[in-house]
Chains A and B, each alone.
Chain A
Amino acid sequence: MGELVSEIFTSFQDYLNREQVLREEIRNIVKDIEQTAREILTILQNIHHEGGMKEIPASCQRARALFGSIREGYKKLAEKIMVDQYYRYHDHWRFVTQRSAFLASLVTYLESGHLASRETVAEMMGVEVQRSAGFHLDVEDYLMGLLQLSSEMSRFAVNSVTCGDYSRPLQISRFVAELNAGFRLLNLKNDSLRKRFDALKYDVKKIEEVVYDLTIRGLKPGTSSSNQAGEADMSDKA
């Protein structure tokens, strides 16, 4: 009888040990991904630096090259995680996934001026989109990345003006206004995503102020009056 009980506990101990080992492995992989993500972030910070605007394509290229090791990292991670255990260890990579989603969408925006879809971001990170397909990009993590993007955009708008680029804030304004409209369609629960979303309106406001400052000074580049009206209209709605 006593032996039976002790056996139960021994096997439970084994189970705990295995999980501990797995968590340790996950932590190490995540640490590597985080390191790469920080490098990408540092490269992309250049867009705020004086004279960095001209180097945007080069910065994006370097960033894209580094995304290669992010993909590798996620591949390693995917091998460790059993299909139905994603959310069991989700906390370990939640932060870095949000950060990577942000970086991927930032690169996409800088290159094309468009919002990166969930598919694009997932592809850049080397993960799946649907849960059924394996290690995937959680939708909340993706949205969190987009919200981080909007804050970066408001800073970018301010700094582009300082660097003498007056057309970029208008693009950014349109982009973020659209993003804001999109987020309004979501039914967010009162959680971290909701809290982060509440900060979006300040980013929108900031960018609108920049556009306003440019408009009243006639600094908006080469736009016809009708176009200007459309712009103002857009800002109003947002």
Chain B
Amino acid sequence: MLKAFTLATFYTVVCLFTHTSGCGRKGRSDRKHDGHHGEGKNKHVIGDKAREVLESIDVNSPVIKCFQQYAAELDFKHDKYERIVKLSRDITIESKRIIFLLHTLDRDSKRETVLMEAMVRLTHLVNVQFKAIANELKGEDPYQYMKAYNAGLQEYIEAVTFHHYLTNNSLPSWSKIQGDLTYTDKEVPSEGDGRSIATGEESTVVTCSTGSPDKDGSFETHVSPVDYILGVADLTGELMRKCINNLGSGNLEGCYHTCTFVREIYSGFLSVNCTGFKEISRKLVTLRQSLGKMENACYTIHVRGSEIPKHMLADVINRKQDDFLEEDEGFY
């Protein structure tokens, strides 16, 4: 939109310039232009009237006043949106890295350190980026800005559920995740950078920020249940990779275990009505595929497990899966 605007102004400036300079010079190229100009004297040139109005306009007219206010309101919204998008991108990248970190978990000796580090980084996301988003959303309708951050949120849910699965062998509920992203004002704002930006903006533009704090002083990054479920659907993709990686490290038991877990999730997805949520149905197709891969992997272990050395088993199975692993986002 901005680009279109600058182009338009540029165009008018060029027109004005050619008009004035065309009158001064006498050249072949100007004759055509002069003729055109002459015609213009008799006829009404579109835009002249508008320019007249523009020049004689009163800065204090009510219409202008109104529009100045609208402009401020729009800018406020766009700025907020942009800030949330930036935070969301940071969350996405960091979450992907955490997931990658969690995939390096192949030996028990590494277990503690890896899970610890992942936990620390997840907590950091919660306390900094998500808190900043929560601050931005204070007193706003969260659904107005949902599109700005749901990509990051889903990636975060994927990471946090993955971590939870590795530590507890279970799936954290929606309320647990929402609880993590709910803050109270009493907390000392240890990471103030995101916060100060937000409050600064709110104080400069008073027009539209209602800024009403919640009754009990708590505020949250709203997690919509749909985003939660989509994050869980993404998790199954990671579990599929985990299952295959388990083969490489010879952890056949873990492979079965993960497969069973995903099977339960799949049953869960089948038991809900997803009509009207296209995205969920699409993820369900992928989920079915990854479950198929995992079941095949378990099958191969079972049938050929005794014949092939463990370290080669992974190759045998991987060969079958190559097509699927290709479609990873590739964003580490």
Complex: A155 Cα to B256 Cα, angstroms: 16
Within 8 A of B (CB), among A36-64: 38-39, 41-42, 45, 48-50
Find out whether the CB atom of B299 lies under 8 angstroms from the CB atom of A161.
Answer: yes
Complex: A159 Cα to B260 Cα, angstroms: 11
Find out whether the CB atom of B260 lies under 8 angstroms from the CB atom of A34.
Answer: no
Pick the contact of B299 from A45, A159, A219 — CB < 8 Å? A159
Q: Which of A82-90, A189-197, A210-218 contacts B (4 or more CB under 8 A)?
A: A210-218
Contacts of A162 on B, CB cut-off 8 Å? 256, 295, 298-299, 302
Q: Which of B29-37, B156-164, B266-274 contacts A (4 or more CB under 8 A)?
A: B266-274
Find out whether the CB atom of A159 lies under 8 angstroms from the CB atom of B295.
Answer: yes
Find out whether the CB atom of A158 lies under 8 angstroms from the CB atom of B260.
Answer: no
Least CB distance from A169 to B in Å reads 10
Q: How many residue pairs between the two chains, A and B, have CB atoms under 8 Å in the bound complex?
A: 48
1/0 per residue, CB under 8 A from B, across A143-183: the answer is 00000000000010011011010000000000000000000
B107 is an interface residue with CB less than 8 A from chain A: no
Find out whether the CB atom of A45 lies under 8 angstroms from the CB atom of B266.
Answer: yes
A28 is an interface residue with CB less than 8 A from chain B: no
User: Which A-chain residue is minimally distant from B300 (CB atoms)?
Assistant: A213
B292 is an interface residue with CB less than 8 A from chain A: yes
Find out whether the CB atom of A38 lies under 8 angstroms from the CB atom of B303.
Answer: no
A35 is an interface residue with CB less than 8 A from chain B: yes
The majority secondary structure among interface residues of chain A is: helix
User: Which A-chain residue is minimally distant from B271 (CB atoms)?
Assistant: A42
Find out whether the CB atom of B267 lies under 8 angstroms from the CB atom of A45.
Answer: yes
* Known contacts A48-B263, A155-B292, A161 near B271 by CB under 8 Å: no
Complex: A234 Cα to B298 Cα, angstroms: 27
Complex: A214 Cα to B299 Cα, angstroms: 11
B127 is an interface residue with CB less than 8 A from chain A: no
Find out whether the CB atom of A42 lies under 8 angstroms from the CB atom of B267.
Answer: yes
User: Which B-chain residue is minimally distant from A95 (CB atoms)?
Assistant: B275
The majority secondary structure among interface residues of chain B is: helix
Complex: A45 Cα to B270 Cα, angstroms: 9
B296 is an interface residue with CB less than 8 A from chain A: yes
Complex: A164 Cα to B270 Cα, angstroms: 26
Chain A residues touching B, range: 20 to 34
Least CB distance from A154 to B in Å reads 9
Contacts of A31 on B, CB cut-off 8 Å? 273
Complex: A35 Cα to B273 Cα, angstroms: 8
Contacts of B295 on A, CB cut-off 8 Å? 48, 155, 158-159, 162
Within 8 A of A (CB), among B3-32: none
**Candidate in B263, B272, B296, B303 with the most chain A CB atoms within 10 angstroms:** B303
B65 is an interface residue with CB less than 8 A from chain A: no
Pick the contact of B304 from A41, A159, A164, A213 — CB < 8 Å? A213
Least CB distance from B289 to A in Å reads 12
User: Which B-chain residue is minimally distant from A34 (CB atoms)?
Assistant: B273
User: Which B-chain residue is minimally distant from A213 (CB atoms)?
Assistant: B303
Within 8 A of A (CB), among B231-259: 256
Least CB distance from A142 to B in Å reads 22
Find out whether the CB atom of A38 lies under 8 angstroms from the CB atom of B260.
Answer: no
1/0 per residue, CB under 8 A from A, across B291-332: the answer is 010011011001110010000000000000000000000000
Least CB distance from A184 to B in Å reads 25
Least CB distance from A35 to B in Å reads 7
User: Which B-chain residue is minimally distant from A45 (CB atoms)?
Assistant: B267
Least CB distance from B24 to A in Å reads 67
Least CB distance from B144 to A in Å reads 31
User: Which B-chain residue is minimally distant from A164 (CB atoms)?
Assistant: B302
Pick the contact of B272 from A38, A48, A49, A217 — CB < 8 Å? A38
Pick the contact of B303 from A45, A50, A217 — CB < 8 Å? A217
Find out whether the CB atom of A210 lies under 8 angstroms from the CB atom of B267.
Answer: no
Find out whether the CB atom of B273 lies under 8 angstroms from the CB atom of A38.
Answer: yes
* Known contacts A45-B266, A49-B263, A50-B260, A158 near B273 by CB under 8 Å: no
Find out whether the CB atom of B303 lies under 8 angstroms from the CB atom of A214.
Answer: yes
Pick the contact of A161 from B256, B267, B302 — CB < 8 Å? B302
User: Which A-chain residue is minimally distant from B303 (CB atoms)?
Assistant: A213
Pick the contact of A158 from B266, B270, B271, B296 — CB < 8 Å? B296
Within 8 A of A (CB), among B68-124: none
Least CB distance from A159 to B in Å reads 6
Complex: A39 Cα to B272 Cα, angstroms: 9
Contacts of A41 on B, CB cut-off 8 Å? 270-271
Least CB distance from B280 to A in Å reads 14
User: Which A-chain residue is minimally distant from B299 (CB atoms)?
Assistant: A158
**Candidate in A34, A39, A42, A219 with the most chain B CB atoms within 10 angstroms:** A42
Contacts of A155 on B, CB cut-off 8 Å? 292, 295
Find out whether the CB atom of A39 lies under 8 angstroms from the CB atom of B271.
Answer: yes
Least CB distance from B323 to A in Å reads 13
Complex: A232 Cα to B270 Cα, angstroms: 36
Top 6 closest A-B pairs, CB basis?
Answer: A42-B271, A45-B267, A158-B299, A162-B302, A162-B298, A213-B303
20 A-B residue pairings within 8 Å (CB atoms): A34-B273, A38-B272, A38-B273, A41-B271, A42-B267, A45-B267, A48-B263, A49-B263, A49-B264, A49-B267, A155-B295, A158-B295, A158-B299, A159-B295, A159-B299, A161-B299, A161-B302, A162-B295, A162-B298, A217-B303
